[in-house]
Structure 1
Amino acid sequence: MVRSLRLGAASVLPGSLARRIEPRLLQLLSQQVKNGIILVAGTNGKTTTSLFLREILERQGYCVAHNATGANLENGLMTALMESSNLVGKLDVDYAILEVDENILPRVLAPIQPKLILCLNLFRDQLDRYGEVDTISKRWARAIATLPPETIIVANADDPTICHLGQQLSQQRVSFFGLNEPEHYLEAIPHAVDSIYCPKCGHALNYKGVYLSHMGEYTCPSCGFTRSEPTLNSATWPQILIGLYNKYNTLAAATAAIELGINEATIRETIPNFQPAFGRAEELKINGKQVRILLSKNPVGTNETIRVVTQSSDKTTLLVLNDRIQDGEDVSWIWDVDTEKLVERGGTLVVSGDRVYDMALRLHYSQKTAESNFNLIVEEDLRQALAIALEHTPDNETLHILPTYTAMLDVREALTGKKIR
């Protein structure tokens, strides 16, 4: 009914209602998945990685349940499993891929008993809702350690916190993914960095190089903690979509698929045919203009989307900043974003959203000189901002839109007429 009335994707409400009738619903549904449930957890990259892994498994011929809308709290997980079940609650799927909010992962491990957990990364995100990265990682480690030995953990070797978590798991089977491409090192560690201290002893890590934020190749000069060797050589793998962060998503899904017994040829065949999830490097054609939506919801993710924009020749960018519950109501994180790089390259920057003036102020203070060569347009009304941004985009260029989560939903509804929740 929710979908028929065009009120949303019905990705949460059914699970919320069913949970009141049967509190054990998540456990009962999880037990019916034939080959097991795959949980995908982390701050950035969950939706893209989950979708890519799903396409790999489906190419291999498996039937897969998936919370494709990104509803990653408990009610959303239940709704995704219910959607694949029949009227009497029987589930007939080989795998279920569930992306999980990093804060609830410890709560759902016991009822779900996953076959595989994909640990992508941990960054600061939604400061008003979540604790520090170290606090979350310790909660993850305690909960995962209670799982049976046959549980598979696929961990990001380039993230010191996640790598240390994987190294500490003595009972479960652990494999790692990461980059082996020094040519992509950043010139310096970015301002928006979270975990440059050893998670084992607290000493500052020595970095051979960083790829993004605190993710790179490192060692601890004090206790000897060092990065684990990834299962796959990243230099031999193409990537899905644009941006270095999507190379991580590729390697994460590919490593998980190999751990599940999928042959490498199937994985490689999936990459060139992959289509992005909504808002994640999604490309649309609007009024004859090319539009690319790059979800930008925290410092690290936004710095990476800015890197994509500045490496292009396109000179029009729309930034949309909201502060609703799903975004996090604390928008102070924008001061950790390297917006100076957008301002330095010039062009037109249009800003909108619930916190439009906060973003405008951040861009204003990103100027190194009073004569900075960029055109800043402030527009409270999102639809008008979209029209202005499209008007300023030449026919041979792409309009890049950098929205927070709820802003991305608003942008897509305005551009396509379809609401997603």
Structure 2
Amino acid sequence: MKLLDRPRLGLAVALAKTVTAIVKKLRLGAASVLPGEIARRFHPKLLSLLCEQVQSGIILIVGTNGKTTTSLLLRTILEANGAKVTHNATGANLVNGLITALLADTNIFGKLNADYAILEVDENIVPLLVKECQPQIILGLNLFRDQLDRYGEVDTINQKWQEAITPLSETTTVILNADDPSLSYLGQNLPQTVLFFGLNQPNLYLEEIPHAVDSIYCPVCGASLTYQGVYLSHLGDYHCSSCGFAKSNLDINSKEWGQILVGVYNKYNTLAAVLTAQTLNISPQLIKREIQNFRAAFGRAEELNVKGKQVRILLSKNPVGMNETIRTVNEIKAQGKSETTLLVLNDRTPDGTDVSWIWDVDTEKLVEKGGTIVISGDRVYDLALRIQYSQQTLNNPNLNLIIKENLKQAIDIALKSTPPDQTLHILPTYSAMLEVRQILTGRKIQ
């Protein structure tokens, strides 16, 4: 770091820490973005100066779904191996949020003492971020449609990633999900070392390709891909009969790794964290131990005990995410361990203001299983229309649909409808998840 930068860096850090203290003291929020925004205005090169201080490497975790769970599992493994890790654990994944997280672990002079920085990164800022830092590892989880009012289709994001990553040093290792055709194609065309994770378990295939799929066409020639089977949305085993493009060879055997969290999507998160940890030369024994002891991040298959009832929160913020949480809930319903589900739909900035995506959700599969479905949220009546449309199609006499505008009342009703030996599943969008947790626990996420 240049000597001239040190006083300015110290002032930027002091300013950020003061803002953080004031915001938290006055209970104005989590202070996960504002301190970084103010400090960055004072010192525009702050992010690159902080990244330069990370001793062993920066790990960028990108993708539409699974960033928080994967990041937390990887952090748990690294810390168990003795590493000091800085991480934007609040989920603030734009530039100002990343700066805030890094500043939180500096001393008053701006000295960052960290072996690794695990940064969950919004998929749209990857090109900007790699100009500010040289990552040791880029971990790409998946690309699904998410908040189309902000980003557009997945092909646009994929192209941006390729243009941003290609010029990076060959010291960067890229780890990608081979089951996602667009990411598999990306990896096959990068000059860096690329490793692939994915599933090789046909027993986990879906019976059919879901309605909400994003990329079933060959990224090389545009022909329809031939799928041997689909695990989740467009993720699966595939090849192109027209040009020969096919799923990349895996660098990990999914059959050898268990998981502690429910759902196929969490199997992917586990494999992503495992392959990254292996790349960092962490022993398989330690990795397996930490997987078995792992606990979910807030809202991501998180389990709570509320008034003697078991509650599981499954964040559902886009068509693929909600379809997978419905799949998980239905599997548990089939075991007789759940009959009540609460869905909460908001349309605030963190959720995306366009809620038309709910019509790409296979709510028929939830209605088909029956039981009690309680719905709430800012867009409760949009969700009610979607559920009632499914009910008109199926006419399931065993469905009990309850509509409640007031979220606290909706939660109370759902809890009362849940027998003591069963689990209440709550499927909220992002801002709704924060509200649900505050009501259930009596405190905000800090």
Question: TM tier, shorter chain?
Answer: over 0.9
Partner residue in 2 for 1:417: 442
> CA 1:369/1:96 → structure 2, altered by over 3 Å: closer, same or farther?
closer
Q: How does 1:384-403 map to 2 (within 5 A)?
A: 384-403=409-428
Partner residue in 2 for 1:244: 264
Alignment partner of 1:228 is 2:248: yes
- For 1:147 and 1:262, the matched residues in 2 are separated by 25
Partner residue in 2 for 1:357: 381
Aligned-pair distance for 1:278? 0.2
**1:176–1:229 Cα contact (<8 Å) kept:** yes
Alignment partner of 1:322 is 2:346: yes
- For 1:370 and 1:235, the matched residues in 2 are separated by 40
| Counterpart pick for 1:366 among 390, 409, 414 | 390
| Counterpart pick for 2:175 among 130, 141, 154 | 154
Give me the identity figure in percent.
65
Q: Deviations over 1:101-147 (max 9, x none)?
A: 00111110110211100000000000111111001000000000010
Alignment partner of 1:85 is 2:106: yes
Q: Deviations over 1:259-303 (max 9, x none)?
A: 112121111111011011000000111111111000000000100
Q: Deviations over 1:212-270 (max 9, x none)?
A: 00000100111111111111100111013110100000000110111112121111111
**2:62–2:141 Cα contact (<8 Å) kept:** yes
Partner residue in 2 for 1:274: 294
- Structure 2: stretches of 5+ with no match in the other structure: 1-20
Aligned-pair distance for 1:398? 0.7
Aligned-pair distance for 1:373? 1.9
Partner residue in 2 for 1:53: 74
Partner residue in 1 for 2:13: none
Paired AA for residue 351 in structure 1:
I
- Structure 1: stretches of 5+ with no match in the other structure: none
Aligned-pair distance for 1:371? 4.9
- What SS is found at the alignment partner of 2:241? coil
- For 2:42 and 2:417, the matched residues in 1 are separated by 53
- What SS is found at the alignment partner of 1:92? coil
Partner residue in 2 for 1:333: 357
| Counterpart pick for 1:113 among 112, 118, 134 | 134
Partner residue in 1 for 2:184: 163
Aligned-pair distance for 1:14? 1.1
- For 2:28 and 2:424, the matched residues in 1 are separated by 28
**2:69–2:269 Cα contact (<8 Å) kept:** yes
Give the alignment's TM-score, normalised by structure 1: 0.98
Q: Deviations over 1:184-237 (max 9, x none)?
A: 001111000000001111111011100000000100111111111111100111
- For 1:315 and 1:324, the matched residues in 2 are separated by 29
Paired AA for residue 77 in structure 1:
L
Paired AA for residue 329 in structure 1:
T
Deviates more, 1:1-10 or 1:51-60: 1-10
Give the alignment's TM-score, normalised by structure 2: 0.93
Paired AA for residue 366 in structure 1:
S
> CA 1:371/1:62 → structure 2, altered by over 3 Å: closer, same or farther?
closer
Paired AA for residue 308 in structure 2:
G
- For 1:78 and 1:140, the matched residues in 2 are separated by 21
- For 2:153 and 2:264, the matched residues in 1 are separated by 25
**2:368–2:394 Cα contact (<8 Å) kept:** no
Alignment partner of 1:263 is 2:288: no
**1:33–1:92 Cα contact (<8 Å) kept:** yes
- For 1:275 and 1:7, the matched residues in 2 are separated by 28
**2:220–2:245 Cα contact (<8 Å) kept:** yes
Paired AA for residue 405 in structure 1:
Y
- For 1:163 and 1:119, the matched residues in 2 are separated by 10
CA RMSD of aligned residues (A): 0.9
Aligned-pair distance for 1:372? 3.4
Partner residue in 2 for 1:71: 92
Q: Deviations over 1:349-375 (max 9, x none)?
A: 000000000000000001224453201
Paired AA for residue 89 in structure 1:
G
Deviates more, 1:264-273 or 1:328-337: 264-273
Aligned-pair distance for 1:420? 2.5
- For 2:305 and 2:25, the matched residues in 1 are separated by 26
- For 2:318 and 2:236, the matched residues in 1 are separated by 19
Alignment partner of 1:177 is 2:197: yes
Q: How does 1:198-209 map to 2 (within 5 A)?
A: 198-209=218-229
- What SS is found at the alignment partner of 2:24? coil
Paired AA for residue 280 in structure 2:
L
- What SS is found at the alignment partner of 1:375? strand
Aligned-pair distance for 1:6? 3.1
- For 1:67 and 1:191, the matched residues in 2 are separated by 34
Partner residue in 1 for 2:306: 286
**1:344–1:372 Cα contact (<8 Å) kept:** no
Paired AA for residue 285 in structure 1:
N
- What SS is found at the alignment partner of 1:202? coil
Paired AA for residue 293 in structure 2:
N
**1:7–1:419 Cα contact (<8 Å) kept:** no
Which one has a larger percent helix, Structure 1 or Structure 2?
A: 2
- For 1:416 and 1:64, the matched residues in 2 are separated by 28
- For 1:112 and 1:68, the matched residues in 2 are separated by 19
- What SS is found at the alignment partner of 1:113? coil
| Counterpart pick for 1:404 among 418, 429, 434 | 429
Deviates more, 1:3-12 or 1:175-184: 3-12
